[in-house]
Amino acid sequence: MYDNICKFIAETYSRDLAQWLLGKPIELTILEPTELQVDPMRVDSLIFLQSEDLILHIEFQTVPQQDVPFRMADYRLRIYRRFSSKSVYQVVIYLKKNNSALAKINRFILPELQHQYNVIRLWEIPTEQLLTSFGLLPFAVLSQTENPVNVLQQVARRIEGISDRVQKSNVTATTAILASLILDKIVIKRLLRDEIMKESAIYQEIEAIGEAKGIQIGTAKGIQQGVQQGEVKLVIRLLQRQIGEITTEFEEKIRELSVEQLESLGEALLDFKTQSDLINWLNSHEILEDD
């Protein structure tokens, strides 16, 4: 989710990021990762922006990864293979404060090869730097501050001053999502206007992804529950045929069994003759151990 949000910010407000990272508001367009033949590599957190003579490569990270130095070197060589005449600015931006030594590494070293890139840890960046333009506002709450709630209040006031409705909704939504890395959602909703946030295309996209995942998880759970309920009914029916009526207590124990346990019981009950056999089976599988 955070990768998608950061990519959206970088692509929508590329001039603002260029001003911050490069010191000048260069017009940048999106460079698709496929142009660098990065299919074998993970591309979910990659952002490539290009001008006529420069390529800006940004990677946003919430948690430091061991392979980041290699990836940065690998992408630099791929860029050189495809655009040898263009200068390149590479930067890894860490979003959430951490004490990992990995977040301080800014080079890849082999005996025959060394490559250096830039690293930004947002919690070390002065807040004022990120209040200068709309595209940087979403990152401000993650900056160098002892009071992120106060910073979010400042950002909310800046957002209220945005006249363009689409821009206002996009900045509100991206700010809210990144702020959730360090602030409680109740605080965020109190400070940022929910109805404006929900108008944002990126907010709607992430919400749709969440709903789809929820449906997928719910469907899987529903199937699992359906299978389990079917197994329970079958086992109870077979038990009643095999040993006669069983008590409510044992029936409830059977309803608590997993599908695997129900299948195992279904195979074993063919040898049952009395309720004692059922009790012995439940005991042997430690199902009655607390009774």
> Has residue 137 got a pLDDT over 90?
yes
Distance CA 239, CA 265 (A): 10
What is the predicted pLDDT for the residue at 208? Answer: 56
pLDDT band at 35 (very low <50, low <70, confident <90, very high): low
Over range 264-272, report the average pLDDT.
Answer: 77
> Has residue 228 got a pLDDT over 90?
no
Pairing of strands 87-94, 54-61: parallel
pLDDT band at 221 (very low <50, low <70, confident <90, very high): low
What percentage of residues in the chain have a pLDDT greater than 90? 44
> Has residue 291 got a pLDDT over 50?
no
pLDDT band at 203 (very low <50, low <70, confident <90, very high): low
More confident residue, 75 or 34: 75
- Indicate the pTM of the whole model: 0.68
> Has residue 284 got a pLDDT over 90?
no
Q: Where are the domains of the chain?
A: 2-205, 219-284
More confident residue, 165 or 285: 165
Q: Give ∠ CA 4-85-88 in degrees, rounded to 5.
A: 35
pLDDT band at 216 (very low <50, low <70, confident <90, very high): very low
What is the predicted pLDDT for the residue at 225? Answer: 62
> Has residue 288 got a pLDDT over 90?
no
Over range 199-206, report the average pLDDT.
Answer: 65
pLDDT digits (tens, 9 = 90+) for 108-124: 999 999 999 999 999 99
What percentage of residues in the chain have a pLDDT greater than 70? 84
Do 202 and 167 touch, CB atoms closer than 8 A?
Answer: no
Distance CA 284, CA 72 (A): 56
What is the predicted pLDDT for the residue at 102? Answer: 95
More confident residue, 144 or 215: 144
Over range 252-280, report the average pLDDT.
Answer: 80
What is the predicted pLDDT for the residue at 219? Answer: 47
More confident residue, 210 or 139: 139
- Beta bridge partners of residue 57, listed in sequence order: 48, 90
Report how far apart, in Å, the C-alpha atoms of 35 and of each of 13, 19, 96, 145, 252 are: 22, 25, 30, 39, 60
Phi-psi domain of 23 (left: phi exceeds 0; alpha: psi -120 through 50; beta: other): left
**What value does the mean pLDDT of the chain take?**
83
